Chain A
Amino acid sequence: MDWFPLWLSLRVAASATVFAALIGIALAYVLAKGRFPGRGLLEAVASVPIVLPPTVLGYYLLVTLGARSPIGRAWESVFGQTLVFTPTAAVIAASVSAMPFVLRTARAAIEAVDPRFEQAARTIGLPEWRVAAQVTLPLAGRGLIAGVALGFARALGDFGVTVMLAGNIPGRTQTMPIAVYDAVQAGNDHRASVLSAVLAGIAVVVLVAVNRLSRIPGAGHR
């Protein structure tokens, strides 16, 4: 049995989770704390990947990053190969579909932090970035981890965006969900059932972890 899709999926999902976590948590902080013009628009745009059909999202990414787009051409001139239909494109696809899930969970967690802790931190002289780094984000920690775990599950399971942007190249860009589809199309029921079971198992483990993290209340908030 060829396990390449599993390793590729895990690597792609891990990289995508890092990007989705960095961007998602930073955006969540800005949206939770900031008051600036265009905030509503930014919020809407950041959540678009949740409501768009994945193939449509993948299509727009393909148009934006494709070989004839400015970004695609710039990428090719720097790295000597096109961006789309590569494992890197799979990471981008998974990052974009995972980011809004990190963002929404992280934002709720940040907004749930008792602002009096932040005020107390200001009175002892901590500058705003240290209030964020040493007070707000640690107190929101469980929610942030839950968001990142959800993002990982989403990244691992992405089909539509990845297949549009990275294609279905066995041994190169064929991730687990795409390999399942491929196995069914090829009539390989055994392969489809094994890959599906592994993917479902990982998803359930992540879900259980997320539930446990969000159920335990934050420690000693007084």
Chain B
Amino acid sequence: MTSPAPTHPGAPPAPAVPALEAEFCVRAGEFTMHVAIRTEPGITVLFGPSGAGKSLTLATIAGLRRPDAGTVTINGRPVADASSGMHVRTQDRNVGVVFQDSLLLPHRNVRDNVALAVREGTRAERRREADRLLAAVGATGLAEAAPIRLSGGERQRIALARALAGRPHLLLLDEPFSALDHTTRRTLRTLLRDLVATTGVATLIVTHDLDEAAELADHTIVYRDATTGPLQAGFPFPQRPAGVTGETPG
């Protein structure tokens, strides 16, 4: 096995300012988690067992909860600082979030769901932009549909389009494909890779699925003992058991 490639071929060159620099503690009941993350371009996988605090990490970065200590900086702009109590609202952080459940608004059609997330332009412009995004996620034919009528995979495509509609500095995905069947999951991983490559948005994805982590990771942060490990290039675990590859160490 060769040394892991430092970045995925599609990943853009490193900008001067990382999309995210975060070092904070959050308490959840008895448990205090310490997180230190500095993103590189491309997809960073937050990998760890269920209950390790990965979702809590994303919620804190998105501003849905406050850190108990430490700071969060997005695109060079401090958005949370526990020591001064500074807290920029989620609305003003310009992050795109995809949750495990798509959380599309059930009373609006697909196009409206995406158009609501487009931050600039007239109503007609926002709807055009929504249609462009729907095409980018392969959901052109669904614009008029009600979210309730869609399959789980279709809903997550729309959720991706919605998360990208605000042209976010940072895309956060919280186990986005874990409720989907195997085939759909694979298709959507490829779509996510393509979208990240085209838009160049720095992406953090939470998963506890080894295959998913291995397939998506340009970089990996592993959670253990309520602490994040260092940012590592590629995915640190062998994709197949060592015996299968037939390689010998050394």
- Min Cβ gap B58→A in Å is 10
Tell me whether B106 and A124 are in contact (CB under 8 A): no
Tell me whether A139 and B90 are in contact (CB under 8 A): no
Query: In the assembled complex, which residues on chain B have CB atoms less than 8 Å from the CB atom of A126?
Result: 91, 116
**Contact A122 to B119, CB < 8 A, known contacts A139-B106, A220-B147, A222-B103:** no
- Min Cβ gap A133→B in Å is 12
- Interface residue? B137 (CB, 8 A): no
- Interface residue? B148 (CB, 8 A): yes
Within 8 A of A (CB), among B114-156: 116-117, 119, 146-148, 155
Q: Once bound together, how far apart are the Cα atoms of A135 and B91, in whole Å?
A: 15
| Partner-contacting stretch, out of B94-102, B185-193, B220-228 | B94-102
Query: In the assembled complex, which residues on chain A have CB atoms less than 8 Å from the CB atom of B90?
Result: 119, 122-123
Q: When the two chains form the complex, which single residue of A125, A134, A218, A220 contacts B91, counting CB atoms closer than 8 Å?
A: A125
- Interface residue? B64 (CB, 8 A): yes
Q: Please, how many residues of chain B have a CB less than 8 angstroms from a CB on the other chain? A: 30
Q: Once bound together, how far apart are the Cα atoms of A122 and B90, in whole Å?
A: 6
Query: In the assembled complex, which residues on chain A have CB atoms less than 8 Å from the CB atom of B63?
Result: 122
Q: Once bound together, how far apart are the Cα atoms of A35 and B209, in whole Å?
A: 39
Tell me whether A218 and B106 are in contact (CB under 8 A): yes
Q: Once bound together, how far apart are the Cα atoms of A119 and B163, in whole Å?
A: 13
- Min Cβ gap B62→A in Å is 6
Tell me whether A119 and B91 are in contact (CB under 8 A): no
Q: Once bound together, how far apart are the Cα atoms of A220 and B145, in whole Å?
A: 13
Q: Please, how many residues of chain A have a CB less than 8 angstroms from a CB on the other chain? A: 22
- Interface residue? B77 (CB, 8 A): no
- Interface residue? B17 (CB, 8 A): no
Tell me whether B119 and A222 are in contact (CB under 8 A): no
Q: Once bound together, how far apart are the Cα atoms of A221 and B165, in whole Å?
A: 22
- Min Cβ gap B87→A in Å is 13
Tell me whether A219 and B107 are in contact (CB under 8 A): yes
Query: In the assembled complex, which residues on chain A have CB atoms less than 8 Å from the CB atom of B119?
Result: 125
Q: What are 30 A-B pairs with beta-carbon distances under 8 A?
A: A116-B101, A117-B103, A120-B97, A120-B99, A121-B105, A122-B64, A123-B95, A123-B97, A124-B96, A124-B162, A124-B165, A124-B166, A125-B91, A125-B94, A125-B119, A125-B166, A126-B91, A127-B91, A128-B91, A134-B105, A134-B116, A138-B107, A141-B107, A218-B106, A219-B106, A219-B148, A220-B146, A221-B106, A222-B102, A222-B104
Give 18 new A-B contacts, CB below 8 A, not counting A220-B146, A222-B102, A222-B148: A117-B105, A120-B97, A120-B99, A121-B105, A122-B63, A122-B91, A123-B90, A124-B116, A125-B92, A125-B94, A125-B117, A135-B105, A138-B107, A139-B106, A141-B107, A220-B148, A222-B106, A222-B155
